Structure 1
Amino acid sequence: MKKSAYWLIGIVVVIIVAAFGIHSISSSHSASSAKSNKITIGSEGSDIDIWKHIAKTDDAKKLGLKITVKNIADGVQLNKATADGDVDVNAFQSWSYYVTYNQQNKSNKLAALGTTYLEPMGIYSKKYKNVKQIPDGATIAIANNPSQAARGLLLLQKAGLITLKKNFGMLGTVKDIKSNPKNIKFKEIDDTTGPRIINDVDAVLISNTVALEGHLHVLTDSIFHEKVDQSTKDNINILATSAKNKNNANYKKLVKLYHKKDIQKYIKDKYYGTKIEVNKPLSYLK
């Protein structure tokens, strides 16, 4: 009788312990799941406003995402914070910026999650209505920022004004110009001053953010601008995370969230259609 009683007590204890263990695992899983729904997005400039808006939308709630937006103005520090896990996902950089960062930080890489938009760079002029009118010996202002200067030179090539060497890279310079049939002269400027010096040169290359701040609309005021094609794929903006989180399901939801119709309407209205949506697979960029 005593042995039977001990045996029954033993079974009860095992069942209770097992039940407690399952409950603990379940609770732990629930807590972990809830925590993974909380995403800190690091950003800068106009992207901060966009993601603060997205965080409050019903779309974010329906996907079960709780988004916090963190402002880190320096791109290198923002990427480092993302790679280190202090920021979950960042939204600020172009594909070329991302590739360059990974090349320089091979032991602490990032992973791209998906594409967001292209902000076209434009060629602006108060003297000429199209690039064909730009005369021999004209002066064109370009950014003294290496990456912006290279982007501008590629745009001038696309416009048919110059030809660049085949190995022209993301940090190419005027020294990499192969052919300059109009003998164009280049004036290096701080890329934030473009709208202010537009009357002092024959043409000036201006990034979209700077153009908007100077009350210029790239789609209507420029005489030539970037379009979404293979020649501009390096300038398409992306969402990025730490390489170890590249398969995080909730982080991937952010890409889907960004491309929701009502969110795109908000972005189009707020930035006058100058942030051109790019919803393409990452293979398009490679």
Structure 2
Amino acid sequence: MKKEKSILITTILFLSVILLAGCGNSTTASKSSTITIGSQGSDLIIWEYIAKSSQAKKLGLKIKTKEITDGAQLNNATSEGQVDVNAFQSWSYYQAYNKQNPKGKLAALGTTYLEPLGIYSKKYKKISEIPDGTTIAIANNPANTSRDLLLLQKAGLITLKKDFNALGDTKDITSNPKNLKFKEIDDTTGPRVLNDVPVVLISNTVALEGGLHVLTDSIYHEQVDQSTKDNINILATAAKNKDNTNYKKLVKLYHNKKIQAYIKKKYYGTKIEVNKPLSYLENK
């Protein structure tokens, strides 16, 4: 009788442990299925739409968004866990951040899109019309400064060092036949600066917010080819979360056909979908 009672007690204890473990796992699963995505501008609008979509529900993802308008602060918040994943930056911006923050590195989850960077002017209709000594406004953050200069080189206005990279700046200009002057600005102010500076380089997200369309309003813009792959946007997370299954699902979710139809319609085709493996960006 004592033996049977002992077995019964052991069985009850065992089942209690299983039930408690099950409750614990249920709580963990609940928490892990809620993903906070940090973003800004038009990307924030996209992820607010995705968060409410039936496609997100089908993948079992509960998403909430958080707006942080400064890129460096948004990456810091991601590294520190205040947001789980961020959606705003190009591959080159991400590389520059990781190089400058070796103790708080991020990991890329996947590619999203490319928005062509544009050269805008209210004074000139063609690149060839830009006269000697013209002041050109470029971004004051490392990744976008280098991107701006590469576009100016492709437009035939300057020549850069052969080993020019994502952290390059105006010191790397080897030829400036028109004696152009460069004014570094907060790249979120581009449309406003356009009233005071004759030529301004503006990212498409900022351009759209300022009522500009890169394909019709710029006097020159990036084309989608190998030379612009560093400018492809990505989803990023803290390095320790790089293998998180739910976070990886966000890449698949972004490229869903219905989600893409919404993005194309809302942003007039200026956010060009890029669904490539990360190796496409990593290979030089």
TM-score between both structures, scaled by the size of structure 1: 0.88
Spell out, residue by residue over 1:48-106, the C-alpha distance to the aligned partner (whole angstroms, 9 max, x if none): 11111110000010011111111122222222221122211111222122112212222
Residues 75 and 136 from structure 1, CA distance in 2 versus in 1: closer, same or farther, beyond 3 angstroms? closer
In the alignment, is residue 50 of structure 1 matched against residue 46 of structure 2?
yes
RMSD: 2.3
**Offset of 1:135 from its aligned partner?**
5.7
Q: Secondary structure at the match of 2:94?
A: helix
Tell me the equivalent position of 1:208: 204
Q: Which range moved further: 155-164 or 199-208?
A: 199-208
**Offset of 1:121 from its aligned partner?**
0.9
Partners of 1:175 and 1:84 in 2: CA distance: 34
In the alignment, is residue 224 of structure 1 matched against residue 233 of structure 2?
no
Q: 2:140 aligns with which of 142, 145, 155?
A: 145
Matches within 5 A, 1:31-180: 31-126=27-122, 129-131=125-127, 133-134=128-129, 137=132, 139=134, 141-147=136-142, 148-180=144-176
**Offset of 1:233 from its aligned partner?**
2.0
Give the AA of the match of 1:106: P
Partners of 2:126 and 2:245 in 1: CA distance: 47
**Offset of 1:199 from its aligned partner?**
7.5
Spell out, residue by residue over 1:186-242, the C-alpha distance to the aligned partner (whole angstroms, 9 max, x if none): 241534554456587664322213322333211122232112323222222111111
In the alignment, is residue 257 of structure 1 matched against residue 282 of structure 2?
no
The count of aligned residue pairs is: 280
Bigger Cα Rg: 1
Where does the alignment leave 5 or more consecutive residues of structure 1 unmatched?
none
In the alignment, is residue 7 of structure 1 matched against residue 6 of structure 2?
no
Give the AA of the match of 2:138: A
Residues 153 and 113 from structure 1, CA distance in 2 versus in 1: closer, same or farther, beyond 3 angstroms? same
Partners of 1:79 and 1:199 in 2: CA distance: 31
Partners of 2:196 and 2:81 in 1: CA distance: 46
Give the AA of the match of 1:185: L
Q: Which range moved further: 198-207 or 251-260?
A: 198-207
